[in-house]
Copies of this chain bind each other. A is one copy, B any other.
Amino acid sequence: MDVSVKGEYALRAVFELSRHGRPEPVKIARIAERQKIPQKFLEMILAQLKQGGYLGSRRGVDGGYFLARPPDQITVGDILRQIDGPFQPAKRPFADEPTDSPFPEMWDRVERALSCVIDRTTFADLVERWRQRRVKGVPNWQI
């Protein structure tokens, strides 16, 4: 019932790219350094995110990775599911479980509750909140 380190790394990498904003590619080495992620491990993660359609890349001297869509169209849930697989509270319905078990319905509720957070939080949101936070003192007009 937790998120893998790999998943957390993926989130941090996409956050880094979102924060960067501009369309120029960012090098793996730079992301690894800024987010303190082992570089070779990060390579695999970014490849996985690319093949999920969330990132693009370019090789060569000015190469790197970049977002394949704007940050307000990538959610935390997207990335987590791409890396850690679909969230299945229990391989519902348990193969040999009587069909009147009360649990599948509860797992649905859990999934919906979770979805309300992770599928509604975009990286644009995260960057914005992070920017607000940087202005120490937390202004009043914050929601």
Q: List residues of A whose CB falls within 8 A of some B CB.
A: 1-5, 7-8, 11-12, 15, 36, 76, 80, 84-85, 87-90, 94, 96-97, 100-103, 105-106, 109-110, 113-114, 116-118, 121, 126-127, 129-130, 133-134
Name which residue of chain B comes closest to A136, CB basis.
B100
Closest 10 A-B residue pairs measured CB to CB? A102-B130, A113-B113, A102-B126, A8-B90, A36-B96, A1-B87, A109-B117, A110-B117, A3-B89, A113-B117
Cα(A118)–Cα(B103), bound, Å: 11
Given A1-B80, A80-B1: A12 and B103 interface contact (C-beta under 8 Å): yes
Would A106 and B3 count as touching, CB distance under 8 A?
A: no
- In terms of DSSP, what is the predominant structure of the interface of chain A? helix
Would B3 and A102 count as touching, CB distance under 8 A?
A: no
Cα(A2)–Cα(B11), bound, Å: 18
Cα(A133)–Cα(B106), bound, Å: 13
Q: What chain B residues lie within 8 Å of A109 (beta carbons)?
A: 117, 121
Known A8-B103, A12-B97, A15-B103; 12 more pairs at CB < 8 Å: A1-B2, A1-B84, A2-B88, A8-B90, A8-B94, A12-B101, A76-B106, A100-B133, A101-B130, A102-B133, A106-B121, A110-B117
